[in-house]
Amino acid sequence: MKTWRAPEMPRPGCVWTHVLVIADADLSRIPNLQILAQQFERPTQRKSFESYSSELMLEPDALNAPTDDLDEPTVRDLIELVYFSRFDPNTIENEESVENALLAIWSQQWPALRRQFSFRSASLSSTKQTRRSDFEIELKERSSADLAETSRLQPNVLDLIVRDVMTAGSSQFRRFLWRYGADTGAARQNLLFLSGVYHDLHRSEPDRTDVPQLIIEIGETFPSQSTALLLKKDLTQPSNADFSMLPEVDPFDVVIGVQSSSYSQAFPALGAFDKKTVNSWITNRPKELSKLLASSADDLGVFAESLFNGVTYSKNADFNWTLINQSETAFLRIASLSLAFLNDDRVEKVGDELLLEIIRKANKSGEKSLIKLVPRLLARNNTDLIAAVYAAVPNAVTGAVARQFAAGIENDQIGSSVHPNWVECVKDNPDGVIEFAEQQVATRRQLLACRFLLNADSKRVPLTVWTARLDGIKNDLHGYPGIEFSVFMLIQALSQPSETAPVIFQDAFDHVYDALAGDRLDFRTEMQLSEHLPHIGWFNNWDKCLRLKIAAVACYKHLGLSKKELRGVTSNSHLEYDLVELWSKA
């Protein structure tokens, strides 16, 4: 409404008032409300009133018309009056510029605040200054006492609001207010608070107010989760904030603020963070992150999930190991997601029970990491742990135990680095040892270890176990252990001749024969061999070399092999002649 005195009318005190009726939706669509002042027209007694009952059409260009000249001191005083009611009674200077200034301030407000804001721009007469007002803002003459009062607004925040009112238009600050003020309600002090938030967040990093403290203040100011929800969401779930008006802040500060707030329930659930962000926290804020992980160890929400998923890389091993002293629950959660970093000497810090729980919780993708970890566990004796590891990666356990055995053979320390409980676990699963021998052994020492793990000296094992990889593996058995193993192999071929027996004869016959002829076999080994050689009469039975040659010929004939194939048993021409002679006589 705009009112004019009407002295031309016969009745004293008459006024003309032109009223504009604006729908709520339309009020929200007008960026610069100063355009309304241009729509008022003073009625006259002689003019028809029909035009005042028709609709007004505002052109689109007019909606964004530039702001009329404003008096900055007036704007500054009015802002203090509107948002702090600093003057009591409400007083202001320079009444002539008040109308445009109030319309400009009104334009800055978001729709809900606009709809609640009521003001009168004309000064009250002295006779009406004491009556109760129906307006939020009214003006009267200022007394000398009023002039002495000082501002209660932060100077920087006041300057921010004043600059925006003076320039109008769609500034970043105004878009911030409209976006985040929309769900804060129609309280005028909320504009002041949001202005303070904007000012603090848009300062440079060194000058910025403590962000966690700012988050706490947001919770205190808007304790209901439904109030200022958009601001809270853009802070706590930045990855989903497609139209955010917030500057970039370290999300970790937001997390700390929410978790430190007495009104943490006022905020929506924290959103997920990408691995790059979490890894930056490991580098820049490791101690704080460690505490956060400890406090979030039992949280199954998306925020906690992203937090733990972000620190599971093996390159973060040093950081991950610090958690074992901070929280075993947090350490368990990280380790069960990624076992890779456990392949470290520091795994000794992890007790059997905790390690067992980690392995039980580990997903299938952790099998490769567990395989690498197995050799570090072979000195442990916890049977539940051993059973769980074997159940998860049986081939890896079998291979690791066999390799550890093989490593100790040369120094006569078989099994010294493997706890007997692991050995018994592998022995109880001979099929795994056979599979390792036939497909994975890389050296003869490892093949010898399989002999022990299969109890092959007392239990019959398929000959293919010893022949499958014999030609291609490294011969790392030297001296007497090599001879003794050749005797064992030859015994296997003699005791269960099959189509693969020639592989063993070609590999072991010369070594065994030379050791037997040179009397270099110990008594026990020689007697074991003798038990599998044919008896050739009481007078000739002492000649074990002859018995060995006869055994070789008999085996080849039994398998239906030719004389030519028999010659391949030895590289000694004299020995080859003897074998051929025995072949002919047999």
Model pLDDT for residues 194-206, shown as the tens digit of each residue: 999 999 998 866 6
User: How many domains are contained in the chain?
Assistant: 4
Q: List, for residues 280-318, the tens digit of each pLDDT value.
A: 999 989 999 999 999 999 998 899 999 999 998 777 889
> Where does the pLDDT of residue 180 fall: very low under 50, low under 70, confident under 90, or very high at 90 and above?
very high
Same domain, 382 and 448: yes
Q: Does residue 562 share a domain with residue 496? A: yes
Residues 398, 339 share a domain? no
- Tell whether 315 is covered by a domain: yes
| Residue 85 in this model has a pLDDT that exceeds 90 | no
524: containing domain: 483-586
Residue 558 lies in a domain: yes
The answer to whether position 490 is within a domain reads yes
Whole-angstrom distance, CA of residue 544 vs CA of residue 521:
12
Assess if residue 122 is contained within a domain: no
Which of 452, 477, 502 lies at the terminal end of a domain, its last residue? 477
What pLDDT does 412 receive?
Answer: 56
Over 80: is that where the pLDDT of 416 sits? no
In a domain, 113, yes or no: no
* Together in a domain, 292 and 384: no
Q: Where does a domain end: 23, 40, 63?
A: 63
User: In this predicted structure, what is the pLDDT of residue 345?
Assistant: 93
Ranges of H-type helices in 393-500? 394-409, 420-427, 430-439, 444-453, 464-467, 479-495
531 shares a domain with 459:
no
Task: Name the pLDDT band for 401 (thresholds 50, 70, 90).
Answer: very high
The per-residue DSSP string of 210-252 comes to -HHHHHHHHHHH--STTTTHHHHHHHH-GGG-TT--PPP--HH
pLDDT higher than threshold 50 for residue 87 = no
pLDDT of residue 145: 47
The confidence score (pLDDT) of residue 377 equals 94
Task: Note whether 415 and 466 are same-domain residues.
Answer: yes
* Residue 196 lies inside a defined structural domain of this protein: no
Do 399 and 447 belong together in one domain?
yes
Burial class of 383 by CB neighbour count within 10 A (0 to 12, 13 to 18, 19+): middle
Instruction: Please report the pLDDT score of residue 89 as a whole number.
Output: 42
Structure tokens, 324: 């074992």
As a whole number, mean pLDDT of residues 322-335 equals 92
Is the confidence at residue 508, as pLDDT, over 80? yes
Pair 438, 522 in one domain: no
451 and 495 in a single domain? The answer is no
Same domain? For 338 and 426 the reply is: no
H/E/C letters for each residue in 37-97?
HHHCCCCCCCCCCHHHHCCCCCCHHHHCCCCCCCCHHHHHHHHHHHHHCCCCCCECCCHHH
- Pair 471, 491 in one domain: no
Higher pLDDT, 495 or 315: 495
Q: Is residue 258, in this structure, part of any structural domain at all? A: no
In the structure, what pLDDT confidence band is assigned to residue 123 with cuts at 50, 70 and 90?
Answer: confident
Distances (CA, A) of 105 to 18, 29, 102, 129: 22, 16, 5, 24
What is the residue-averaged pLDDT of the chain? 87
Q: Does any domain span residue 263?
A: no
Which domain-ending residue is among 333, 362, 391? Answer: 362
Please determine, for residue 473, whether its predicted confidence score (pLDDT) is greater than 60.
Answer: yes
- Cα 542 to Cα 519: distance, rounded to the nearest angstrom: 13
Q: Nearest to residue 569, comparing CAs of 528, 484, 512, 488?
A: 512
Q: Which of 125-129, 354-358, 401-405, 427-431 is least confident? A: 125-129
Phi, psi for residue 119 in degrees, rounded to 5: -150, 160
In this predicted model, what pLDDT tens digit does every residue of 4-15 receive, in sequence order? 999 988 898 899
Do 492 and 463 share a structural domain? no
What span, in angstroms and rounded, lies between the C-alpha atoms of 437 and 465?
6
Residue 232 has a pLDDT of 94
